[in-house]
Structure 1
Amino acid sequence: MAVLVDDQEESLLYADRLTNSGLPCKKLKPMKQAQELVSAIRREKYDVVLLDYRLDDSNEVAYRGGTVAAQLKEALPDIPVVLLTSEAKLRQSLEHNPQIYGLFDLKLLKEELRKPEQWKLQATRIRDLAMGYREIATGVGETSKGTEAAVWSTLAKLLGATQAEEQLLPQFCQGPAPTRTTEVARWLSELRSFPGALIDAAHVRALFGLNELSFKEPAVQKALQKGRYIGVFSELEQRWWRSRVSELLRTIAREQAMGTAQERVAALSKKVKKPLKADQCVVCEGGNINQVCHICRAAADPGHVVRAVVDARPAWADSPLVCFQCIRTGRAEQVRFASGTEGLIEELHRGGAAEH
C-alpha cells in the first residue's frame, strides 16, 4: 500500500490514478507539524510514501517535503520515499538545495501523471521500488551480524554482480560496507545514478559509437544483454556494467575496439547482421567519440569536453563532462568548471577553441 501526501486536491487525484493502475494508494493531507505527519505514516505501515515537495503552499504548513523525507529516513529506514513534484519546482529546488535530491529514492513528475498512458508505467516503477526495498531489508537483516566480507557478498548479490566484480566492490566503493536498508538503498541509487561501475544508454552508445536509432535495434539490444545490470531496482532504469560492456566491445570489435565510431559500428553490424549507423561528435562531427556531455547527453570526442563540478558525486564516480557546444550556446551558464579551465571557458564563450 502506498500513500500520497499533498496539500492540493488536484494532486491528490493522482492517488486514484495509481490505484486504478494496480498500485493501491491512499491520500493524505499534510498536518501542521512534520512530526505529526511522520507519526501518522508510521502507524499505517505503508510500503512506499509519495511526497509533494511544496507542502508549504498551504498557510497551515511551515515545512516542505524534504523535511518530512529526512525524518522518514530516520524513523522508517525500510520504507522508500518518492518525490512528487512539477518539473519547474524540481529544477528550482535542486538549484537552491541540491542535497535535497539525495533524500528521495525516486523522482516522479506530476506532468507524467497527467498522461493516461503513463499511469501504469509509473505505478509499476513505484511498486518495483517498494519490492526492491523489501529485498534489501531481507538481505541486510540476514547479514546484519555477519563479517564485513559477508556483508559485501550480500550487497554483490543485490547488485547482481559476478564473483570477480564482488571482489572489487570494497576497493571500488571505498569505506565500510553499508548495513542499514536506507544506506544500502542510497548506495545502490548512487551506483545507478552516477556513471562508474554502471553506465546508462548514452554511455553505452558512445562506447560502441552507435547513433540513437541503431542502438534501439532489437538485434543490438540482444547483443548487449550480457552486459545488462539486473540487480535490485534494475526495472526502474536500464543500466549496464561498464566492465561487461567493454569486454563485449573487445570481443566484437577486436582490433577496432579503440578505433573510430565507424569502425566499431561496422564490427557490431557484422556481428548482428544488421545495417547500423555510427554517431558523431556533437562539436566537430568527427568519429573519435567515447565521451558523453552531462547537459545535452550527446556523444563527443575527448578533446571537445570540459570537466565540470555539477553535483556531489561519490569518489568512485566518473567526472561530469560538458561539451564545447553547450558552453558556447550558454546551456552551461550555471555550471562550475574544474580549476585550470578558466581560459578555455572564456575562449569558448567568445566562440573560439575549435580544437583542444
Structure 2
Amino acid sequence: MALNPNDLYDIRSLLSEEERMIQDAVARFTDEKVIPIIGEAFDQGRFPKELVPEIAAMGLLGSSLPEEYGCAGLNGVSYGLICQELERGDSGIRSFVSVQSSLCMYPIYAYGSEEQRRKYLPGMARGEIIGCFGLTEPHGGSDPANMKTHAKKDGGDWVINGAKMWITNGNLADIAIVWAMTDEGIQGFIVEKGTPGFVAQEIKHKMSLRASVTSGLFFDNVRIPDSQRLPNVKGLKGPLGCLTQARYGITWGPIGAAQACLTEVVNYTKDRILFGRPLAANQAIQVKLADMARRITLAQLLSLQLGRLKDAGNMQPTQVSLAKWNNCRMAIDIAREARDILGGAGITTEYCPIRHALNLESVITYEGTETVHQLVVGRELTGINAF
C-alpha cells in the first residue's frame, strides 16, 4: 500500500474524526480558493481580502475561543491544522488568520473585560472587525522591553504617543491592540480606526509576504477612555502570552509550505526528462526528496505532540520555541532546495517554492527570530540567560 508522500508516518491516523474533518475542509478551501489566485496576488503585492468572508464563515477566526463569543470552540490541534493548510496556500493567508485569532482576539478574551469581549469578539469572528497587534517598534526588534511607545493617564483617559513597525493587517484593521509603557508597566489598549492622532501607513517594496498587508502605526496624542484598556494584565507577560499562542500556530504553518514545495518538485521531477530519463530517476534527486520527507515528518510529530500538550494545559513557552525554530528552519531549507531542483523555472511564481521561500524569510524572523528561540532553549538547558 503506497504511503502519502506528505504523511509518511500516517500522522493523520492520530487525529480525531473532528480534527480530520476540519483539516479536509480547510484543505479544500486552500485548493479551490487560495492556490488559483495566490501567485497573481503575490505578484501584485495584494492581500486577497475577498477571501475573508469565507474564512470567517468557516469559523477559522478565533477558532479556539468559546462559542459564547461567536467562535468555533475548537481544540489546539485543530487550530494547528488550520494554520498548516492555510500556509500550504500562502504564509500571508495564514498570517492574517494568526494575527486576527492569536494576537487580537486572544488578548481581548484573556486580558479584556467582559464588556470588551461582547463588544468585539463576535464581530471579529464574523470578519466584520479586523484587528492588528502593535508591539514591535522601529528600534526594538527582539527586545520588546525596550519600548518607547507610552501611555499617560489624563483624568479618565489615556494619551498614547509612539510608533509601531512591521504590523500585519495594519491598514486593514478596524482596531489595534497596542502595547505601551505606563507608570505601572506595560499595558494593552484597544485603539479603534479613526481615533484622532492614530495613523496606519502601509509598507511597500516588500519581497516577502507580498500577499499580506504590513504597516507602520503612528500615535500622536491619541486619546482613548480607560474602558479601552485591557484591565486584566500588566507587564511583558501580556504581549508575550499572545506571542506564545501565535507562535504555536506558526509551528504548524511552515509544515504546509514545505508540503506544497515537496509536492511540486516530486511532480516536476517525474515529468522533467533530462539525459533521456526522468529527473526523479537520479540518485541525487531522490536523496534530496527523501530528506525533505524526513524533515517534514519530524516537524509533523513535533507540532502534533505540542498540540496535545497545549490541549492538556501543559504546553510551555520553551517547547513552542523549539518547534518554531525547528519547523521554520525545516521549511525554508526545503523551499530553497525545491527552488534549486526546479532550475530556471523555479524563479517564477508559476511554481510555489520561490514564493514560499521568500515568505519564510519573514516567518523565520517574526515573532522571535531563530536565534531568539535557540537562546530560549539554551536558557532552559543551562538556567543562564544569555540574551
Q: TM-score, normalised by structure 2?
A: 0.32
Which of 1 and 2 has higher RCO (CA within 8 Å, sep 6+)?
2
Q: TM-score, normalised by structure 1?
A: 0.34
